[in-house]
Amino acid sequence: MRTKVLVIEDNEQNLYLTTFLLESAGLEVIQARDGRKGIDAAHRLTPDLILLDIQLPSMDGYAVARELRKDARLVHIHIVAVTSYAMLGDRDKAMKAGCTGYIEKPINPETFLDDIAHYLPPATRSKGAGNE
């Protein structure tokens, strides 16, 4: 069974690049273009990792993270904020909302897989995903 990564992102270019990089590493990608769809997908599919944009339409990523953390089946899943919010305090705000990681945009395609590798399940890391 392939490792599932839920990407909650509303920007088409960011979603395309992230999906391309993850699929190139052999990971299964589930896409959600807004917070509510992301929450629904997480409840339905229980992904192995969630990559979460903070600036989303109608429901920001902080609210999404807080909602996801209410589900006992999802509390062990890493939620990594992937965001252009890079001001002092933004990382802490994401962590307080329930994120376990934080990556600033724009992402670097050359290092992105390494940046998320330690958030992936150990079996995926040992197969080399994120270490190409």
Residue 132: what pLDDT? 41
pTM, full prediction: 0.93
- Report the candidate in 74, 126, 123 with the shortest Cα–Cα distance to residue 100: 74
* Domain edges within the chain: 4-125
Tell me: the pLDDT tens digits for 44-78? 999 999 999 999 998 999 999 999 999 999 999 99
Give the model's pLDDT for residue 130.
46
The residues, ordered by sequence, that sit 6+ positions from 109 with a Cβ below 8 Å of its Cβ are 17, 21
CATH superfamily of the domain spanning 4-125: Response regulator (3.40.50.2300)
Q: What is the pLDDT of residue 87?
A: 78
The pairs formed by 79-84 with CB atoms below 8 angstroms and a separation of 24 or more are: 79/50, 79/52, 80/49, 80/50, 80/51, 80/52, 80/116, 80/119, 81/52, 81/53, 81/54, 82/9, 82/14, 82/18, 82/51, 82/52, 82/53, 82/107, 83/53, 83/54, 83/55, 84/55
pLDDT the model gives residue 70: 98
The whole-number pLDDT of residue 126 equals 55
Q: Contact, 7 vs 19, CB < 8 A? A: yes
pLDDT tens digit at each of 132 positions of the chain: 799 999 999 999 999 999 999 999 999 999 999 999 999 999 999 999 999 999 999 899 999 999 999 999 999 999 999 999 777 889 999 999 999 999 999 999 999 999 999 999 887 765 555 444
The DSSP-derived string for 101-130 is: EEEESSP-TTTHHHHHHTTS-HHHHHTTTT
Look at the block and give the residue holding tokens 């600033």. Answer: 104
